[in-house]
Structure 1
């Protein structure tokens, strides 16, 4: 599939996933997960396995960590531990989390080139905004829309449109790391760029994205290489 954005980045809306795309949040998420499952008497979980499941959310992380430990847990107890997880994560959201290499530099270049940047994340919106604030990334984004913000989240196309603030498909591109990002982009009818370094359970090369990249610094050239006739607004 080919797409085009005329005039460099001017007029382009780039919608980013957060966890595993912009920021390596797994160290903090797994840190908190280990604190939570310790309440069940369980040892720290396997980091690499938990990292690959970050995209499924905190409840899934808790359930899967318990399953790996051979520990049976009720749905009611999972809900209790989820509240503990969110509280602990909120209290110290960026102890270990850092933007991936090149992120801030490239975000600055995209904005200076005329692009409008936004975040659509299945993380609760208030946590996403707090994380970006603490990492000093907030000024790069016009909107940050998460799961607590009253919109249908990925894989719904509505999440992308809410984050960009419009439905002009010919000027939108989605950037992420996992299947929900691809599904949302396809539902919205916009191109999707994926990064291999993210948290997808399925290798990015198998997800049929328009572009699959190894490093964030490759993003501007990749965007400019996409081609699609611009439709009238």
Structure 2
């Protein structure tokens, strides 16, 4: 059997490894209620996710009446985070086939990593509550290196590669943040047709677009 082409595989978190909208939606609506706005649907929330909690809240305010002044926004952001932190894994689960794919990649000798724009403390809390921490050699959040270095900048990918000791890296995600970060880091990008897209999946520009976790390892093996 030929050697697997990647030593490190990095994953986005929300919308890639886990379906977290059922816990993010109530947190968003908690903040919107505090702002005197109408709640948004679960499907609308799925379209708001990406870029971290602040960007998600900004989008939620945009679609329910427009932005608010900075001091009020910070209060709303704090309310969202408080609600979400208290309920972070109430309904969030890994996508079907995710754990099997991670096991197979580990069996190929891959180091697995999380590269998310979610705040690192929240990412680690969610991963720990789901019992997944031991699977990952590195977990980086959007604030780990500073927000200016979060995806789509390449910095988080470069740092992940360094933390994992170097080697060929592939990025797996569901949004332009993931694909652009991969391109900026000059590494391959695999995207899922499910998840939380900021553009139609076919327009993400990934090297490969797949539709289920059972397609991931074969897709990576073909590089």
Q: Given the two structures, how large is their TM-score scaled by the length of structure 1?
A: 0.87
- Write the deviation string for residues 192-230 of structure 1: whole angstroms up to 9, x where unpaired: 00001011120121122110001111100000111xxxx
Q: CA–CA distance in 2 between the matches of 1:48 and 1:121?
A: 21
Does the 8 Å CA contact 2:6/2:170 hold for their aligned counterparts? Answer: no
Give the structure 1 partner of residue 60 of structure 2: 65
Q: CA–CA distance in 2 between the matches of 1:154 and 1:64?
A: 18
1:172-187 to structure 2, matched below 5 A, reads 172-187=169-184
Number of aligned residue pairs: give it: 221
Q: CA deviation at 1:108?
A: 1.0
Does the 8 Å CA contact 1:102/1:216 hold for their aligned counterparts? Answer: yes
- Write the deviation string for residues 12-54 of structure 1: whole angstroms up to 9, x where unpaired: 1101111111011111111111111111233321321221120
Q: CA–CA distance in 2 between the matches of 1:196 and 1:169?
A: 29
Give the structure 2 partner of residue 230 of structure 1: none
The answer to whether the aligner puts 1:44 opposite 2:39 as a matched pair is yes
Q: Given the two structures, how large is their TM-score scaled by the length of structure 2?
A: 0.91
Structure 1 unaligned residues grouped into runs of 5+:
1-5, 227-233
CA RMSD, 1 decimal: 2.1
Q: Which of 49, 58, 81 matches 1:54? A: 49
Q: CA deviation at 1:99?
A: 0.6
Q: CA deviation at 1:166?
A: 5.7
Q: CA–CA distance in 1 between the matches of 2:144 and 2:53?
A: 18
Which deviates more from structure 2 when the two are superposed, residues 95-104 or residues 157-166?
157-166
SS in 1 for 2:171: strand
Q: Which of 20, 25, 29 matches 1:25? A: 20
The answer to whether the aligner puts 1:201 opposite 2:195 as a matched pair is no
Q: CA–CA distance in 1 between the matches of 2:64 and 2:187?
A: 41
Give the structure 1 partner of residue 215 of structure 2: 218
